[in-house]
Amino acid sequence: MRFLLVFLFSVLFACDTTSINSAYKDYYEYQRIYISAILDNNKNKEISALKNLIKCGKYLNFNVKEYENKLKRLTQKSKVLTKTEKEHVTPNNKPQKKYIKIISSNPFIITLPSNNLKHFILRKKIHVFDIPYTIIPKMYSKKINNIQIKVAQFNKKIVRVAIYSPKINYKIENKKLIIYLNKKITQKQTLIIPKTYKQRVIVIDPGHGGKDSGGIGIGHRMEKIAVLKIAKYLYSELKEMGYKVYLTRHGDYFIPLRERTHFANQKKADLFISIHCNIAPHHYTKVRGIETYFLSPTRNDRAIRVAKIENKEVKGLNYVDQRVILGFLNRDRIIDSQKLAIDIQAGMLYSLKKKYKQVIDGGVRPAPFWVLVGTQMPAILIETGYLTNPVEAKRLFNPAYQKLLAKGIAAGIYNYFKKNP
């Protein structure tokens, strides 16, 4: 409702330049609308807000050159897209529907035309996967380990997979949906959850994925692979402790930064944990250390450099956009995120130092990470080590080290909730 009112305000009213006070009021209101448009990826609302920001700003003798340049880029891009769409809207350009097939029953494996599909839960006990632009020749229905599976053509464009179980393990990998139906796994997941943790929801975000490899270090080690392994170990640790846990990705595929944040908000998460590996400038091999970041404006050169690497996907935001957005951050959420970062940093160091020597504390730092913008809960980003350092690069791909990292993060989360019930 709030976003609807904001949108109506931007459409029905222009900047009020009858007085300086009213212009000031409208200027800052349109900044809020502009931020909301960026976060929602709503280009029309963004253009409308920019026009009014420029009008108010000029009346108040503010420097609006950056806003004018942004508006120019947006309107030019909009015209090009419209022209391209008109030229190419033909029946032949519709996505071609592809046949898919079931290649295994346990684990249940079905082929996909791409790694994109929609997953949701019906009535708290049926996991549903909608696979777009696909056809299946005939309906499939089978019970495996007392779990009913149905696959059928939902409509002309979508094949629907329904798993009649409240809890499942699945992953999407190499254009395949893989669902594990092992009875032991199901029993493990239905352990009694302690009351203390029952309502806690945590979203784990393995950075990068798919076309975005993240940092590439010594021996062509890719960040996206290491962080997914660590995230999965963390997922298991937190599940065993009784938390409700979600991963933003389960396999090697790409998810835009905005969608990761949106996913966490949809799940009404209590915490958002983004996991990454670091790369030193010019691949300098001596730099090492574990660092934990929380979202906040900063002037620290090292934090800004790291954030710039992780924010490279967001091409549409200039310096002014980022400062405006960070200026509207909720102060309490920044403080909570900082507390969480401190507890998790301490947990990782304690866990790793029990077995490994020369574990370097890179500290807790504020930084303007875009993946943390828009979260409605305490959120942090962990740089688990440097892939450009020979020792840390090797450790980050060692399962024993990955598990200790995960245990340390989990311990930090436990301590945070203990101090902040």
Residues 58-86: what's their mean pLDDT?
Answer: 72
Q: pLDDT grade, residue 93 (50/70/90)?
A: low
Share of the chain above pLDDT 90, in %: 32
Give dist(CA 404, CA 238) in Å, integer: 13
| Cα distance between residue 25 and residue 59, in whole Å | 12
pLDDT value, residue 199? 78
- Domains of the chain, start order: 20-75 (no CATH), 101-180 (no CATH), 195-419 (3.40.630.40)
Residues pairing with 99 in the sheet: 135
Q: What is the DSSP string of 94-123?
A: SPPPEE--EEEETTEEEE-SSS--EEEEET
| pLDDT tens, position by position, 140-179 | 888 887 888 888 888 888 888 888 887 777 778 778 888 8
How many Å apart are CA 308 and CA 211, to the nearest integer?
18
d(CA 386, CA 164): 43
pLDDT of residue 323: 54
Question: Confidence class of residue 4 from pLDDT cuts 50, 70 and 90?
Answer: very low
Higher pLDDT, 3 or 398: 398
Question: Ramachandran region of residue 99, left (φ > 0), alpha (ψ -120 to 50) or beta?
Answer: beta
Which pLDDT belongs to residue 231?
97
For residues 201 and 215, give the distance between their C-alpha atoms in angstroms, rounded to a whole number.
29
327: helix, strand or coil? helix
Taking phi over 0 as left and psi of -120 to 50 as alpha, with beta for the rest, 166 belongs to alpha
> What pLDDT was estimated at residue 297?
52
Q: How many percent of the chain have pLDDT more than 70?
A: 75
This prediction has a pTM of 0.55
Whole-number Å distance between alpha carbons of 141 and 126: 14
- pLDDT over 60 at 261, yes or no: yes
Give Cβ neighbours of residue 135 (< 8 Å, ≥ 6 apart): 97, 98, 99, 100, 153, 159
266-281 residue pLDDT tens: 999 999 999 999 998 8
